[in-house]
Structure 1
Amino acid sequence: MGRTGRIGSAVTGFACVLAFAGCAQPGQLGQPAPAPTAAPAPGAPAAARSAAPAGPQTVGQGVVDIPLRFRTPAPADYTVRTLDLAPGGALGWETHPGTELTLLDAGQVAVQEAGACAPRVLAPGQVAVVGEGVAHVVRNIGTEPARLVVTSFLAQGAPAATPVPSACPEEPPAATG
């Protein structure tokens, strides 16, 4: 076979590989494999059984209305978790050995902190930033469940939270007429 024949065969072979590669299924011939998905819980609503949305999803967005300086004195453990609070429910007065960012995904909550006892009311998409060692409480003041997305950066090996006594005077009960 001459040089032209070998080049023609090579080009034909390469074209066949490209044609078959275009038909490859995910995970074959260099095609990226799909990310594994968790199966919905038994009895989950039909919406939970549908395909997961592609790409990242924004849970909240807004402005932190205080100057924010964030650092840890050493490596820190971090967690991102969701918490659901029933109407009237509270997390209780506590402190953390690090910084905690709480994003309200749904509902309405009030956050009180030692030294600033006037409650700060959060609407969905807003965030509360609580610094290391600051006593605080989060209460659901709405009529529907509240969903919190809590990100914590805590000292390694320390307990995640320490219960503390109320740092603010209790509000007097509402007067009845």
Structure 2
Amino acid sequence: MGRTGRIGSAVTGFAAVLALAGCAQPGQLGQPAPTPAPAAAPDTAVAAPAGPQVVGRGVVDVPLRFRTPANADYAVRTLDLDPGEALGWETHPGTELTLLDAGQVAVQEGGACAPRVLAPGQVAVVGEGVAHVVRNTGTEPARLVVTTFLAQGVPEATPVPPACPEEPAPTG
């Protein structure tokens, strides 16, 4: 093989190497290795619980019997009270069920002025036309879940004068 043949073979071999290098995958035959992708952040989302969640469960300490003379409007709402905050004396044209979700409240009703203190999960039932007040007596915010079954077309609540003497302020 002459000098031209050797040069031709070398050129052909070199061309083959270049061709193979062009087909090489990253990290092979001098191709730069891939930069690893940043690790995905772990999925920290908490899956929503399936089905309805119970906010509270307990025993109502009075027999329940309520009815409405006609269709009634109902509402379920949450209400937050800061420590020491009170809703004010009022009556409703229907029945109110107040479940304490967090904190501590006292419920006073006209005719039975001794306050009932509720702990989380307990409920107060206030009948139609009963004057009452709900007061946060704890040191933390209180969260109430209030359900009302009220006569249609009338105000939800009517403010009334206090039906019981004010509780004395704590001393100390």
Q: What TM-score does the superposition give when structure 2 sets the normalisation length?
A: 0.72
- The code of the aligned residue for 1:131 comes to G
Structure number with greater Rg is 2
What per-residue deviation string (whole Å, max 9, x for no partner) do you get for residues 104-142 of structure 1? 000000000000000000000000000000000000000
Note the C-alpha offset of 1:67: 1.0
Note the C-alpha offset of 1:52: 2.3
Q: What is aligned with 1:34?
A: none
Q: What is aligned with 2:121?
A: 125
Find runs of 4+ consecutive structure 1 residues off by over 4 angstroms: none
Pairs within 5 Å for 1:1-177:
50-175=46-171
- The code of the aligned residue for 1:103 comes to L
Identity of aligned residues (%): 84
What per-residue deviation string (whole Å, max 9, x for no partner) do you get for residues 141-176 of structure 1? 001000000000000011110100000012334456
> Does the residue aligned with 2:76 lie in a helix, a strand or coil?
strand
- The code of the aligned residue for 2:131 comes to A
- The code of the aligned residue for 2:112 comes to A
Q: Partners in 2 of 1:87 and 1:72 — Cα distance?
A: 35
- The code of the aligned residue for 2:76 comes to V
Q: CA RMSD in A?
A: 1.7
Q: Show structure 2 runs of 5+ residues with no match.
A: 1-43
